[in-house]
Amino acid sequence: MAKTIHIAAVSIPAFSHQASIIEFCKKLLHLHHHYHVTCIFPTIDAPVAATLKLLQSLPSTIDFKFLPPVNKQDLPQDVSPAVQIQLAVSQSMPSFRDTMRSLHSTTPHLTALIADPFANEALEIGKEFNLLSYIYFPPSAMTLSLFLHLPKLHEEVSCEYRDLTEPIQIPGCIPIQGQDLPEHFQDRSSLAYDLILKRCKRFSLADGFLVNSFLELEEGTVKALQEQNRGNRGENRGNRGKNRGNRDSPVFLVGPVIQTGPSSEPKGSESEYCVRWLENQIPKSVLYVSFGSGGTLSQEQMNELAFGLELSGQKFLWVVRAPSDSANAAYLGVGNEDPLKFLPSGFIERTKGQGLVIPSWAPQTQILSHSSIGGFLTHCGWNSVLESIVLGVPMITWPLFAEQRMNAVLLTDGVKVALRPKFDENGIVKREEIAVVVKGLMQGEEGNGIHHRIEVLKEAAADALKEDGSSTRALSQFGNQIENFLALK
């Protein structure tokens, strides 16, 4: 019987990241039966409720620990939730070190650490215990390439990235306008940018990167990353890098990793009703509209979206959240206000035969997999993007925050499986534009081409996860690197 290999994995206090690393750990253990994983979660105020539900269905080979909570009121209140999360993670590092010391003293001892990119201070602690240290990267390989390239880009560019007249060339990726870089890159004097830059410089501590993507989706990017890392890692790691297993493949595309366990929310009348409603619709006739677990629209934009959907004449299922002037206001929790009261007067009555509005939450994978769904208007969070690809649903991109603009560029200009509406000079998508784009995806000739390409990508995603698929092979190579490390100890 193979010796048990114990790995620690640390995430951040955000459900999308925690759900992704939990699903990755389940996938890892399905392939490597002698592994044992302890998931470690920093918290703000209290554990994420949706994560607690996911943890109820873990196999016995996955343990979890919540670090002592950071009080949200002790964090700066004038910064974005993403910055608050990073600061909370930093404050949690002393308790993380204590937890690692406790785990390392047990049998079997820890062998490796896997860290979220926004918790990569943990890599420094991993080195204190002589562990192999990896970054599990929930977003795309394109975003990883940007993060690895940022220190160089920072030195080469003196102005704000959004002011550049020429597109930015990220290694292995399609050119991208500066305004489409992640939101925290847009003000180089901000705390948010300073934190990102420091984290990107810390990436050199990683012995490898586990990326939630697949070869057929981002082949050019991963080849560029592998070539870049072959040239750089020896310089960064010094003599200690000599014991590091497979040096030729430090980037492992192990996706698509999407949630496959029980729903993160309890079944209720609303979620059951929306599925029953879909049963009465024509195949591929319904546009699903959702902005993820944290995205919010302003009141003005919410009104325009409502009128645009109505004007399109297309069937829709819309998950509505209360409006906010902050695009990620719901990222650290949803308020108690009834979101339906913010819709335009008479909207629900006028569209009763055309659409269905669900407040706050709906069973997304169950909806996307339904035969009635013919399109997905999405905020382009990477989890949602991968779910849409795996289930073969064409997209309309509506990025709100984080790296979502980059994802939109990849989907529309790269693999061409989505349409992107135009925002006006005030950052609003008008109702007429919404109606045109929705009809274009659901009925137009361009939409037909997108439907064909997403089916091809769906098959490629399924192939990547097969026993001999590219992602399964990458996960095996990751395991080989750990085994080689142990053999040399």
The strand pairing partners of 207, in sequence order, are: none
Residue numbers annotated as active site: 17, 116
Res. 244: pLDDT tops 50: no
CATH number of 5-258+468-488: 3.40.50.2000
Supply the pLDDT for residue 486.
Answer: 86
Res. 241: pLDDT tops 50: no
Peptide bond preceding 167 in cis form (omega within 30 of 0): no
pTM: 0.92
Supply the pLDDT for residue 409.
Answer: 97
In angstroms, the CA 4 to CA 108 distance is 7
In angstroms, the CA 390 to CA 386 distance is 6
Res. 56: pLDDT tops 80: yes
DSSP state letters, 59-80: -TTEEEEEPPPBPGGGS-SSS-
Do 114 and 8 touch, CB atoms closer than 8 A? yes
- What percent of the chain shows pLDDT beyond 70? 91
Provide the pLDDT confidence category of residue 397 given band limits of 50, 70 and 90: very high
pLDDT in tens, 340-371: 999 999 999 999 999 999 998 899 999 999 99
Mean pLDDT for the chain overall: 91
Q: Where are the domains of the chain?
A: 5-258+468-488, 269-463
Query: Radius of gyration of the chain from Cα atoms?
Result: 22
Supply the pLDDT for residue 336.
Answer: 72
Supply the pLDDT for residue 327.
Answer: 73
pLDDT in tens, 167-188: 999 999 999 999 999 999 999 9
Supply the pLDDT for residue 444.
Answer: 86
Supply the pLDDT for residue 335.
Answer: 60
Supply the pLDDT for residue 238.
Answer: 44
Supply the pLDDT for residue 240.
Answer: 42
Dihedral sign for Cα atoms in the order 324, 399, 394, 472: negative
pLDDT in tens, 187-233: 999 999 999 999 999 999 999 999 999 999 999 999 999 887 665 55
Do 328 and 295 touch, CB atoms closer than 8 A? yes
| Start-to-end C-alpha separation, the chain | 20
Domain spanning 269-463: CATH superfamily: Glycogen Phosphorylase B; (3.40.50.2000)
